[in-house]
Amino acid sequence: MNLFGNSLKYTSRGVIKVTVTQTQLDDAPNQRMITLTVEDTGRGISQDFLRNSIFIPFSQEDQLSSGTGLGLSFVQRITSQLGGNVSITSQVGVGTRVTVSLPMLIDTSSTATDLLPRELPDRQSTCHGLRMRLVSPIQNAGAAPHQEALSFNTLISDLCCEHLGMIMDTGSDVEKAAPDVLIVKNNATGDLLASATPWPEVPLLVVCNNAFVVHKYESVYGSAGRTRLQDFIAQPLSPKKLERAVSRAINLSAESDESPPKLVEMPLPTPSDTASCSQPPTPAPSSMESLFDGSIPAEDYFQVPQFLLVEDNPINLKMLTCFMKKLQKPYYTAMNGEEAVSAYKKVNGQFKYILMDISMPVMDGLEATRQIRAFEQFNKITASTIFAITGLGSESAREEATRSGVDCFITKPVKLRELEEMLSSQGVTI
């Protein structure tokens, strides 16, 4: 999650690609080398910072960016403890690739065998050998393709050809035979339909920026009647997800009338359109607004929330808040220990449960825990249950957390099922 979060933070346009592979270890038949690769087309890292500071705790190349500079040091430390290694290559203005390799034991239990996916081989017969063509808007003569378009085309080509066994049409194939499916990115507007006119009978699969755009344009095109735009799919993409979408688009085309569908002149969404469909930003934690959704009972709305979530990483905080919504539990959030202590004092210690990250800017989780325990003791109020969340799983870290007043110790990455079990053991109704 740290690696993916870094790519999201520093890639304003382009592509983020996450792949996982496994290889047999010659000297250990019962092990596999699992390789996780996260690569992006973001701003990149300078060679000087890459050589001298990349894994040093609290170091950031851009001191004005958010975060503490601990993410990669955690990744390296955890990977090293598991006997693996981390390698990073990067070029400023081009992008970054981070590769994590871990030796893992093979689970030979019957349960693990039963969990192996059994659908993919069946679906491969639908897509394998199909001819795919990427559709781009007509460009002015001599205009160079945008880097973002090149990155997207490379990603789609890799998914379709390398993973699904499809065949990619090139410009020289236009007059030979129609492809089986056309694929286009939703912000390729303007001359899109003109670009696709050589094959009016071929299903068109539109790759959208997110699920909100898919919903919006499915509604628009659905209310307008049958069009040649057969199907929409939301990013992020995976081989299995793209395979389903290609199969669905081809099946829809096969079920349609024999006569060519009537084209409806509706522009595809522009980048400005898709911005209006994106999710609203998370409210600033410092405002101390309680975050609710419609699933929380009305009688709980005006009560002080049971939970205080303290986490400086926006992605990890989002995961925790989603979990609280699933449990229909009102909650407050804080981005560092100082905000957490302030929030706790403001409601006079009425939080029953605190999920506290340990490594945070301004004030870390252990100092915040000590101040909360001191406040409880001074005011003679019932102690809250504090769950420490950290990327450091050493015995010394556990001992320090316990001395500071922590009740339970959770090692990152947090697994929601384990967290649910731990909350249940503390009396939380799930």
pLDDT at residue 365, as a whole number: 92
pLDDT at residue 231, as a whole number: 78
Summarised one tens digit per residue, pLDDT across range 363-382 is 999 999 999 999 999 999 99
pLDDT at residue 38, as a whole number: 93
pLDDT at residue 243, as a whole number: 86
Give the pair of three-digit tokens for residue 150. Answer: 């090149």
Say how many C-beta atoms besides its own lie within 10 A of residue 191's C-beta. 13
Compare 79 and 304 and report the one with higher pLDDT: 79
Distance between CA 124 and CA 54 in Å, rounded?
41
pLDDT of 323 higher than 80: yes
* Residue 41: band (very low, low, confident or very high) from pLDDT cuts 50, 70, 90: confident
Q: Quick one: average pLDDT of 392-409?
A: 82
Compare 229 and 48 and report the one with higher pLDDT: 48
Amino acid of residue 352 = K
Give the residue extent of every domain in the chain: 2-107, 121-137+146-276, 285-425
pLDDT at residue 206, as a whole number: 85
Compare 24 and 143 and report the one with higher pLDDT: 24
pLDDT at residue 259, as a whole number: 45
Instruction: Name which of 36, 35, 39, 37 is nearest 8 in CA terms.
Output: 39
Q: Quick one: average pLDDT of 105-113?
A: 67
Give the pair of three-digit tokens for residue 421. Answer: 């079990």
299 burial type by CB count under 10 A (0-12 exposed, 13-18 middle, 19+ buried) = exposed
pLDDT at residue 114, as a whole number: 53
pLDDT at residue 153, as a whole number: 82
pLDDT at residue 90, as a whole number: 92
pLDDT of 144 higher than 50: no
pLDDT at residue 353, as a whole number: 94
Summarised one tens digit per residue, pLDDT across range 182-206 is 888 876 444 445 555 567 777 888 8
* 285-425 carries CATH number 3.40.50.2300: yes
* Residue 121: band (very low, low, confident or very high) from pLDDT cuts 50, 70, 90: very low
Distance between CA 360 and CA 70 in Å, rounded?
9
Q: Quick one: average pLDDT of 200-218?
A: 79
Q: How many residues does the chain have?
A: 430
Compare 291 and 80 and report the one with higher pLDDT: 80
**What is the b/e burial string over 325-361, where b = at least 16 CB atoms within 10 angstroms of the residue's CB?**
bebebbbbbbbbbbbbbbbbeeeebebbbbbbbbbbb
Give percent of the chain above pLDDT 90: 21
Summarised one tens digit per residue, pLDDT across range 237-258 is 888 888 888 888 777 666 554 4
Give percent of the chain above pLDDT 70: 69
What is the residue-wise DSSP string for 285-331?
Answer: GGGTPPB--TTS-GGGTTSPPSEEEE-S-HHHHHHHHHHHHHTT--E
* Residue 394: band (very low, low, confident or very high) from pLDDT cuts 50, 70, 90: low
Output the CATH code of domain 2-107.
3.30.565.10
Q: Please check whether the two domains, 2-107 and 285-425, share a CATH topology.
A: no
Give the pair of three-digit tokens for residue 343. Answer: 């929030």
* 121-137+146-276 carries CATH number 3.90.190.10: no
Summarised one tens digit per residue, pLDDT across range 272-302 is 444 444 343 444 433 333 433 333 343 443 4
Cα 215 to Cα 192, 212, 232, distances in angstroms? 20, 5, 9
